[in-house]
Every structure is written in structure tokens, then in C-alpha cells.
Amino acid sequence: MSHTITYINSNGESFNLRSKGGLRLKTASFHKYSWNNEATEFKYGELLKTFTKSAQMYELELVVQGTPAQRKAILNSFHDATEHDIMLEQIGQLIIDDYYTDCYIIDSDTQAPDDQSDRTTNTVTAYCPYPFWMKETKYSISSTGEDSLIDAIDFPFDFPTDLGVTGFVQSITVDTTIPLDFRMEIKGPVDNPAININGHIYEVDVVVGEGSTLVISSVEKNDSEKAVKIVYPSGNSISVFNYRNRDSYIFEPIVGTEISVSCEQNMNFDLYLIERRSEVPWT
């Protein structure tokens, strides 16, 4: 199967690494990874504490094709795009099909363009501080709070009306058993929003005004990424982590191939399910 492979720097400059007439990836080490185990040593064996992961490095061998002038222009453009990120400490991305990893290009070794040849080899190293490949799937959900009954009671005899809590329910099927990170973007106006996913409550005791968005993100790439915050129309934001429901872990990973999302309120929100892998899938 042919993959789409792209490098995009933090400024949005994009390079197709499968281009036949320009920059083309020849080899790469995308299917290597390792976990670190932290353990207490005993006389016989160890007691595992946890697993951690260090930053990942990938070596990419790129082939640049074209006339000497064309190759020099491509190499200069690629250099400037990757150096832009280094100088500003703003990260770019490697993208393979639906999966991406954040990276800097920190090392480059280029064979000098040869006027007698139509190709030049450029070997680079991608440094990935957050050592995972990620795939985001977006679900836009509009809850009226009245579409169905949640926890309805089924009596052996009929009442004139059904008994239960009114609410919205949506089922989502995913093709993985790996615990999923998530990001919720709950749009105002709404008071004290609460969303139930597979029986777990994600709730924040705040008022989200018109035009503002409550963001709940479990992704641990950096301190600003993992957050509970309100983003105002101006773009400014404020942490509301302290207003979370403390009886229900706000960053609980989402597990299961069948995911039930329910809500008893009238509100609109986007749910991003984020698959996190040590390597891109084999296809």
C-alpha cells in the first residue's frame, strides 16, 4: 500500500516526501520504539513501578531529484523551513496517512549536488520530544437533552408516561482497544456542563458564556496541552481545573471499542478521540 508522507513546519510550509520529481523519502526508521521500565531491584528479580518513554529519534534518508539548480532550490527551501522551527523553538510535524508526530529536524548531512547526476541524497534526523504517533478523530455532537431516556425503568406493567432521566445518547465504534486520550470542546452558552462517557462523568462547575469554549484535554504533550480551561472569543484563556468534579477523574482515558456518549443538557460540543501509538500501523 502506498502511504502519503508529509513534513509540515510550524509555519505551515508543507513538503511531500513521496514526490517523484522533487523530495522523496528513500528509507526511514519509523517502526522502531522502546519503553523504559522503572523498578525496585531485589535479590531475585525486580518489582515493576511503571513504564516511561524517552524522546524518539528517526533517521530519514531523502533523495532530491531534478537538475542541479532544482535540487539546490529544494534543499535550500527544506533547510529554511526546518531551521525556522529550530530558531523559534516551534515544532513541526511528520504525517503518515492519518497519523502524525511532532518533531524538529535537528541533524542534516547532504551529499553535494553533482552536475553529472540527477539526484542528491540528504540524510536528516527527526527529534520527537513526545514519542508517539497520534490520530485524531472528531465527533461533533449536538445534544438537546430530550432525544431519549437514560437509565429508563422498565416495569412489567405500563405507566401513562415513561419513567427515566431525559437525555441524549450517541454510540461511537472505534477499531482499537488501546486507551484513548481525548479533547472536548464544549461551546457556550452552557452552565455546569457534564458529559457521561461509558459511565464516567466529565464535569466542570463553571458558566461557559456565549462565544466561549470549555476545553478539556487529557493529552500530556506539555503543560498547556493537558488542561481544563475556558477559551474566550478574544483567544485568551483561563484555567478552570479547580472547578472540576473532584469525585470523577477529569482526564480518565476512554476505553472500549463501543463508546457511549450521553448528556442531559442542551449543548453542542466536539469530542476528539486521540489514538496514541508507539509506531505507525503496518498496512
pLDDT, position 19: 84
Tens digits of per-residue pLDDT, 187-221?
Answer: 999 999 999 999 999 999 999 999 999 999 999 88
pLDDT, position 214: 98
Tens digits of per-residue pLDDT, 109-152?
Answer: 997 766 667 889 999 999 999 999 999 999 999 888 654 433 33
Alpha-carbon gap, residue 271 to 134, rounded angstroms = 15
Q: Is the dihedral of CA 156, 161, 164, 169 positive or negative?
A: positive
Q: What angle do CA 181, 132, 227 make, to 5 degrees?
A: 40
Tens digits of per-residue pLDDT, 88-116?
Answer: 999 999 999 999 999 999 999 997 766 66
DSSP per-residue string spanning the chain: -PPPEEEE-TT--EEETB-SSSEEEEEE-TT----EEEEEE-SSSEEEEEEE---EEEEEEEEEES-HHHHHHHHHHHHHHHHHHHHHT--EEEEETTEEEEEEEEEEEEPPP-TT-SEEEEEEEEEESS--EEEEEEEEEEE-S-SEEES----SS--SS--SEEEEEEEEE-S--SPBEEEEEEESSEES-EEEETTEEEEB--EE-TT-EEEEE---SSTTTSEEEEE-TTS-EEE-GGGB-TTS-TTPPB--SEEEEEESS-EEEEEEEEEEESSPPP-
Q: Which domains does the chain have, with CATH numbers?
A: 5-131 (2.40.30.200), 135-277 (2.60.120)
Residue 168 has pLDDT above 90, yes or no: no
The set of residues, in sequence order, having a beta carbon less than 8 Å from that of 17 and lying 6+ positions away, is 5, 6, 7, 23, 24, 25, 60, 62
pLDDT, position 223: 63
Q: How confident is the model at residue 230 (pLDDT cuts 50, 70, 90)?
A: very high
